Homo-oligomer: A and B are copies of this chain.
Protein backbone atom coordinates (compact mmCIF):
# COMPACT_ATOMS: atom_id res chain seq x y z
CA UNK A 1 0.00 0.00 0.00
CA UNK A 2 1.38 3.37 -1.02
CA UNK A 3 1.47 5.96 1.73
CA UNK A 4 -0.38 8.93 0.28
CA UNK A 5 0.77 11.13 3.15
CA UNK A 6 4.40 10.92 2.15
CA UNK A 7 3.71 11.22 -1.59
CA UNK A 8 1.21 14.05 -1.86
CA UNK A 9 -0.50 14.49 -5.22
CA UNK A 10 -2.32 17.81 -5.80
CA UNK A 11 -6.03 17.28 -6.41
CA UNK A 12 -8.30 19.64 -8.40
CA UNK A 13 -12.04 19.25 -7.80
CA UNK A 14 -13.26 22.12 -10.01
CA UNK A 15 -12.78 23.18 -13.61
CA UNK A 16 -11.37 26.50 -12.39
CA UNK A 17 -8.69 24.82 -10.27
CA UNK A 18 -7.68 22.41 -13.02
CA UNK A 19 -7.49 25.22 -15.58
CA UNK A 20 -5.45 27.44 -13.27
CA UNK A 21 -2.81 24.72 -12.82
CA UNK A 22 -2.69 23.89 -16.54
CA UNK A 23 -2.49 27.58 -17.48
CA UNK A 24 0.43 28.04 -15.08
CA UNK A 25 2.26 25.13 -16.69
CA UNK A 26 1.53 26.34 -20.19
CA UNK A 27 2.81 29.81 -19.31
CA UNK A 28 6.12 28.10 -18.54
CA UNK A 29 6.10 26.49 -21.98
CA UNK A 30 5.32 23.02 -20.62
CA UNK A 31 3.31 20.48 -22.63
CA UNK A 32 0.41 18.92 -20.74
CA UNK A 33 -0.83 15.32 -21.05
CA UNK A 34 -4.18 13.98 -19.84
CA UNK A 35 -4.96 10.38 -18.87
CA UNK A 36 -8.75 10.08 -18.43
CA UNK A 37 -9.82 7.24 -16.10
CA UNK A 38 -12.78 6.04 -14.07
CA UNK A 39 -10.42 5.07 -11.22
CA UNK A 40 -10.01 1.51 -9.92
CA UNK A 41 -6.53 1.83 -11.36
CA UNK A 42 -4.47 -1.16 -12.45
CA UNK A 43 -1.20 -1.56 -14.31
CA UNK A 44 -2.96 -0.83 -17.60
CA UNK A 45 -3.82 2.67 -16.42
CA UNK A 46 -0.37 3.15 -14.95
CA UNK A 47 1.25 2.22 -18.28
CA UNK A 48 -0.74 5.10 -19.82
CA UNK A 49 0.53 7.44 -17.09
CA UNK A 50 4.11 6.39 -17.84
CA UNK A 51 3.58 7.02 -21.55
CA UNK A 52 2.18 10.47 -20.79
CA UNK A 53 5.14 11.24 -18.53
CA UNK A 54 7.48 10.30 -21.39
CA UNK A 55 5.57 12.22 -24.08
CA UNK A 56 4.75 15.44 -22.19
CA UNK A 57 6.10 17.66 -19.41
CA UNK A 58 3.19 17.47 -16.99
CA UNK A 59 0.62 14.69 -16.60
CA UNK A 60 -2.94 15.22 -15.37
CA UNK A 61 -4.94 12.09 -14.52
CA UNK A 62 -8.69 12.54 -14.36
CA UNK A 63 -10.89 10.32 -12.22
CA UNK A 64 -14.61 10.44 -12.85
CA UNK A 65 -17.08 7.54 -12.93
CA UNK A 66 -19.26 8.87 -15.69
CA UNK A 67 -22.95 8.10 -15.17
CA UNK A 68 -24.02 8.81 -18.78
CA UNK A 69 -22.03 5.89 -20.19
CA UNK A 70 -23.84 3.36 -18.03
CA UNK A 71 -27.32 2.09 -18.88
CA UNK A 72 -29.79 1.83 -15.97
CA UNK A 73 -29.26 -1.95 -15.71
CA UNK A 74 -25.46 -1.70 -15.79
CA UNK A 75 -22.91 -1.51 -12.98
CA UNK A 76 -22.64 2.23 -12.25
CA UNK A 77 -23.63 1.83 -8.58
CA UNK A 78 -21.20 -0.99 -7.88
CA UNK A 79 -18.32 0.16 -10.12
CA UNK A 80 -15.22 -0.03 -7.87
CA UNK A 81 -14.29 3.32 -6.24
CA UNK A 82 -11.28 3.94 -4.00
CA UNK A 83 -9.83 7.39 -4.65
CA UNK A 84 -7.26 7.25 -1.84
CA UNK A 85 -5.66 4.09 -3.23
CA UNK A 86 -5.78 5.48 -6.78
CA UNK A 87 -4.17 8.74 -5.65
CA UNK A 88 -1.38 6.83 -3.95
CA UNK A 89 -0.67 4.80 -7.08
CA UNK A 90 -0.60 7.97 -9.20
CA UNK A 91 1.69 9.81 -6.81
CA UNK A 92 4.09 6.89 -6.83
CA UNK A 93 3.98 6.78 -10.63
CA UNK A 94 4.94 10.46 -10.81
CA UNK A 95 1.70 12.04 -12.06
CA UNK A 96 1.49 15.78 -11.44
CA UNK A 97 -2.21 16.43 -10.83
CA UNK A 98 -5.30 14.39 -10.05
CA UNK A 99 -8.44 15.98 -11.50
CA UNK A 100 -11.37 14.41 -9.66
CA UNK A 101 -14.34 16.69 -10.36
CA UNK A 102 -17.60 16.65 -8.47
CA UNK A 103 -20.55 15.41 -10.53
CA UNK A 104 -22.02 18.95 -10.62
CA UNK A 105 -18.87 20.20 -12.40
CA UNK A 106 -19.41 17.65 -15.15
CA UNK A 107 -23.20 17.72 -15.33
CA UNK A 108 -24.41 21.15 -14.12
CA UNK A 109 -28.10 21.80 -13.38
CA UNK A 110 -30.12 21.89 -16.59
CA UNK A 111 -27.36 20.24 -18.64
CA UNK A 112 -28.57 18.39 -21.71
CA UNK A 113 -25.88 18.62 -24.40
CA UNK A 114 -24.67 15.38 -25.93
CA UNK A 115 -21.83 14.62 -28.34
CA UNK A 116 -22.56 11.64 -30.57
CA UNK A 117 -20.56 9.72 -33.17
CA UNK A 118 -23.47 8.00 -34.86
CA UNK A 119 -21.82 5.57 -37.28
CA UNK A 120 -18.79 4.35 -35.33
CA UNK A 121 -20.77 4.50 -32.11
CA UNK A 122 -23.60 2.26 -33.35
CA UNK A 123 -21.37 -0.71 -34.24
CA UNK A 124 -20.19 -3.59 -32.01
CA UNK A 125 -20.31 -2.25 -28.43
CA UNK A 126 -22.94 0.24 -29.58
CA UNK A 127 -25.27 -2.61 -30.53
CA UNK A 128 -25.17 -3.95 -26.99
CA UNK A 129 -24.76 -0.65 -25.12
CA UNK A 130 -26.69 1.89 -27.23
CA UNK A 131 -25.93 4.98 -25.11
CA UNK A 132 -22.36 4.05 -24.24
CA UNK A 133 -20.37 5.97 -26.83
CA UNK A 134 -22.52 9.09 -26.62
CA UNK A 135 -21.81 9.06 -22.88
CA UNK A 136 -18.09 8.59 -23.53
CA UNK A 137 -17.88 11.24 -26.28
CA UNK A 138 -19.81 13.74 -24.16
CA UNK A 139 -17.71 13.33 -21.02
CA UNK A 140 -14.38 13.22 -22.87
CA UNK A 141 -15.30 16.39 -24.79
CA UNK A 142 -16.01 18.05 -21.44
CA UNK A 143 -12.70 16.82 -20.00
CA UNK A 144 -10.79 18.12 -23.02
CA UNK A 145 -12.51 21.53 -22.86
CA UNK A 146 -11.96 21.71 -19.10
CA UNK A 147 -8.32 20.61 -18.89
CA UNK A 148 -7.24 21.70 -22.39
CA UNK A 149 -4.39 19.18 -22.63
CA UNK A 150 -1.96 19.18 -25.56
CA UNK A 151 -1.99 15.39 -25.62
CA UNK A 152 -4.14 12.56 -24.25
CA UNK A 153 -3.95 8.79 -24.17
CA UNK A 154 -6.55 6.01 -23.99
CA UNK A 155 -5.98 2.27 -23.69
CA UNK A 156 -6.30 0.05 -26.75
CA UNK A 157 -8.13 -2.43 -24.52
CA UNK A 158 -11.18 -0.25 -25.25
CA UNK A 159 -10.30 -0.19 -28.93
CA UNK A 160 -13.60 1.04 -30.32
CA UNK A 161 -13.69 3.80 -27.71
CA UNK A 162 -10.26 4.93 -28.91
CA UNK A 163 -11.50 5.11 -32.52
CA UNK A 164 -14.63 7.02 -31.45
CA UNK A 165 -12.52 9.54 -29.54
CA UNK A 166 -10.12 10.03 -32.45
CA UNK A 167 -13.12 10.55 -34.73
CA UNK A 168 -14.86 13.27 -32.70
CA UNK A 169 -11.58 15.02 -31.92
CA UNK A 170 -10.94 15.29 -35.67
CA UNK A 171 -14.55 16.18 -36.49
CA UNK A 172 -14.87 18.91 -33.85
CA UNK A 173 -11.29 20.20 -34.36
CA UNK A 174 -10.49 19.80 -30.67
CA UNK A 175 -6.85 20.86 -30.33
CA UNK A 176 -5.47 17.71 -28.67
CA UNK A 177 -3.30 14.86 -29.96
CA UNK A 178 -4.89 11.49 -29.10
CA UNK A 179 -2.80 8.34 -28.77
CA UNK A 180 -3.59 4.75 -27.93
CA UNK A 181 -1.62 2.74 -25.36
CA UNK A 182 -1.10 -1.03 -25.80
CA UNK A 183 -3.22 -3.37 -23.71
CA UNK A 184 -1.49 -4.59 -20.55
CA UNK A 185 -2.12 -8.25 -19.75
CA UNK A 186 -1.84 -10.55 -16.76
CA UNK A 187 0.78 -13.28 -17.01
CA UNK A 188 -1.83 -15.70 -18.41
CA UNK A 189 -2.91 -13.22 -21.12
CA UNK A 190 -6.10 -11.80 -19.60
CA UNK A 191 -6.39 -8.10 -20.46
CA UNK A 192 -6.27 -5.98 -17.31
CA UNK A 193 -9.65 -4.44 -16.54
CA UNK A 194 -11.31 -2.92 -13.50
CA UNK A 195 -14.21 -5.27 -14.18
CA UNK A 196 -12.03 -8.36 -13.69
CA UNK A 197 -12.76 -7.74 -9.99
CA UNK A 198 -16.25 -9.11 -10.64
CA UNK A 199 -14.86 -12.60 -11.51
CA UNK A 200 -14.97 -15.52 -9.07
CA UNK A 201 -11.72 -17.50 -8.75
CA UNK A 202 -13.07 -20.18 -11.12
CA UNK A 203 -14.20 -17.57 -13.66
CA UNK A 204 -10.85 -15.79 -13.37
CA UNK A 205 -9.10 -19.10 -14.17
CA UNK A 206 -11.26 -19.57 -17.29
CA UNK A 207 -11.18 -15.96 -18.55
CA UNK A 208 -7.78 -16.10 -20.38
CA UNK A 209 -9.49 -18.25 -23.03
CA UNK A 210 -10.69 -14.96 -24.55
CA UNK A 211 -7.21 -13.73 -25.45
CA UNK A 212 -6.00 -17.26 -26.29
CA UNK A 213 -8.86 -17.67 -28.76
CA UNK A 214 -8.30 -14.26 -30.38
CA UNK A 215 -4.61 -15.09 -30.84
CA UNK A 216 -5.48 -18.44 -32.46
CA UNK A 217 -8.01 -16.86 -34.80
CA UNK A 218 -5.53 -14.18 -35.88
CA UNK A 219 -2.87 -16.77 -36.63
CA UNK A 220 -5.24 -18.99 -38.62
CA UNK A 221 -6.63 -15.95 -40.49
CA UNK A 222 -3.12 -15.01 -41.52
CA UNK A 223 -2.76 -18.64 -42.66
CA UNK A 224 -5.65 -18.10 -45.05
CA UNK A 225 -8.61 -19.76 -43.32
CA UNK A 226 -12.05 -18.34 -44.04
CA UNK A 227 -13.16 -15.64 -41.60
CA UNK A 228 -16.76 -16.80 -41.16
CA UNK A 229 -15.63 -20.30 -40.19
CA UNK A 230 -12.98 -18.94 -37.84
CA UNK A 231 -15.51 -16.74 -36.07
CA UNK A 232 -17.83 -19.70 -35.60
CA UNK A 233 -14.93 -21.79 -34.31
CA UNK A 234 -13.99 -19.03 -31.86
CA UNK A 235 -17.49 -18.87 -30.44
CA UNK A 236 -17.36 -22.63 -29.84
CA UNK A 237 -14.02 -22.29 -28.11
CA UNK A 238 -15.30 -19.56 -25.81
CA UNK A 239 -18.49 -21.44 -24.96
CA UNK A 240 -16.42 -24.52 -24.21
CA UNK A 241 -14.16 -22.50 -21.89
CA UNK A 242 -17.12 -21.39 -19.79
CA UNK A 243 -18.18 -18.09 -21.35
CA UNK A 244 -21.93 -17.43 -21.36
CA UNK A 245 -23.42 -15.10 -23.97
CA UNK A 246 -20.87 -14.25 -26.65
CA UNK A 247 -21.81 -10.83 -28.02
CA UNK A 248 -19.34 -10.87 -30.90
CA UNK A 249 -16.06 -12.19 -32.24
CA UNK A 250 -15.37 -10.30 -35.44
CA UNK A 251 -12.66 -9.03 -37.75
CA UNK A 252 -13.05 -5.36 -38.64
CA UNK A 253 -11.31 -2.54 -40.46
CA UNK A 254 -8.95 -1.08 -37.87
CA UNK A 255 -10.27 2.50 -38.19
CA UNK A 256 -13.83 2.41 -39.51
CA UNK A 257 -14.64 -0.88 -37.68
CA UNK A 258 -16.69 -1.91 -40.69
CA UNK A 259 -16.73 -5.67 -41.48
CA UNK A 260 -13.75 -6.86 -43.54
CA UNK A 261 -14.27 -9.40 -46.29
CA UNK A 262 -10.67 -10.57 -46.02
CA UNK A 263 -7.31 -9.47 -44.69
CA UNK A 264 -6.28 -7.80 -47.94
CA UNK A 265 -9.05 -5.20 -47.60
CA UNK A 266 -7.21 -2.93 -45.15
CA UNK A 267 -5.63 -2.79 -41.69
CA UNK A 268 -7.52 -5.26 -39.53
CA UNK A 269 -8.48 -5.62 -35.88
CA UNK A 270 -10.04 -8.69 -34.28
CA UNK A 271 -12.48 -7.76 -31.52
CA UNK A 272 -14.54 -9.78 -29.06
CA UNK A 273 -17.01 -9.31 -26.21
CA UNK A 274 -18.37 -12.12 -24.06
CA UNK A 275 -19.92 -12.65 -20.66
CA UNK A 276 -18.12 -14.57 -17.93
CA UNK A 277 -20.40 -14.78 -14.90
CA UNK A 278 -21.38 -11.22 -13.96
CA UNK A 279 -18.53 -9.66 -15.94
CA UNK A 280 -18.79 -8.61 -19.57
CA UNK A 281 -15.21 -8.93 -20.87
CA UNK A 282 -13.90 -7.32 -24.03
CA UNK A 283 -10.58 -7.75 -25.79
CA UNK A 284 -8.99 -7.11 -29.19
CA UNK A 285 -5.76 -7.61 -31.08
CA UNK A 286 -4.17 -6.37 -34.27
CA UNK A 287 -4.14 -8.90 -37.11
Contact surface of A with B, Cβ cutoff 8 Å: 15, 19, 108, 110-120, 137-138, 141-142, 145-146, 148, 167-168, 170-175, 256
Q: Are B112 and A172 in contact (CB under 8 A)?
A: no
Q: Is the CB of B111 within 8 A of A170?
A: yes
Chain B neighbourhood of A112, CB < 8 A: 117-120, 167, 171
| A148 & B175 in contact (Cβ 8 Å cutoff) | yes
Please determine whether A173 and B142 come into contact, CB atoms closer than 8 angstroms.
yes
Chain B residues near A142 (CB, 8 Å)?
Answer: 171-173
- Chain B, residue nearest A116 (CB): B114
Contact partner of A115 among B115, B146, B167, CB < 8 A? B115
Cα–Cα distance between A174 and B146 once the two chains are bound (Å): 7
Min C-beta distance of A18 to chain B, whole Å: 10
Q: Which residue of B lies closest to A134 (CB)?
A: B116
Apart from A111-B170, A141-B172, what are 7 other A-B pairs with CB-CB below 8 Å?
A110-B167, A112-B171, A113-B167, A113-B168, A115-B115, A142-B172, A146-B173
Determine whether the beta carbon of A137 is less than 8 Å from that of B118: no
Query: Which chain B residues border A172 with CB–CB below 8 Å?
Result: 113, 115, 138, 141-142, 145
Report how far A175 CA is from B113 CA in the complex, Å: 16
- Which of B113, B146, B171 contacts A137, CB < 8 Å? B113
A sample of 8 cross-chain residue pairs with beta-carbon separation below 8 angstroms, ordered by A number, consists of A111-B170, A112-B117, A112-B119, A113-B115, A113-B167, A113-B168, A115-B115, A142-B173
Inter-chain CA distance A112–B111, complex, in Å, is 23
Q: Are B108 and A113 neighbours in the complex by a CB distance under 8 Å?
A: no
- Contacts A110-B167, A167-B110, A167-B112: A145 and B117 contacting too (C-beta < 8 A)? no
Contacts of A175 in B (CB 8 A): 19, 145, 148
Output the nearest chain B residue to A108 by Cβ-Cβ distance.
B170
Ordered nearest first, which 6 A-B pairs have the shortest CB separation? A113-B171, A113-B168, A145-B173, A111-B171, A146-B173, A112-B119
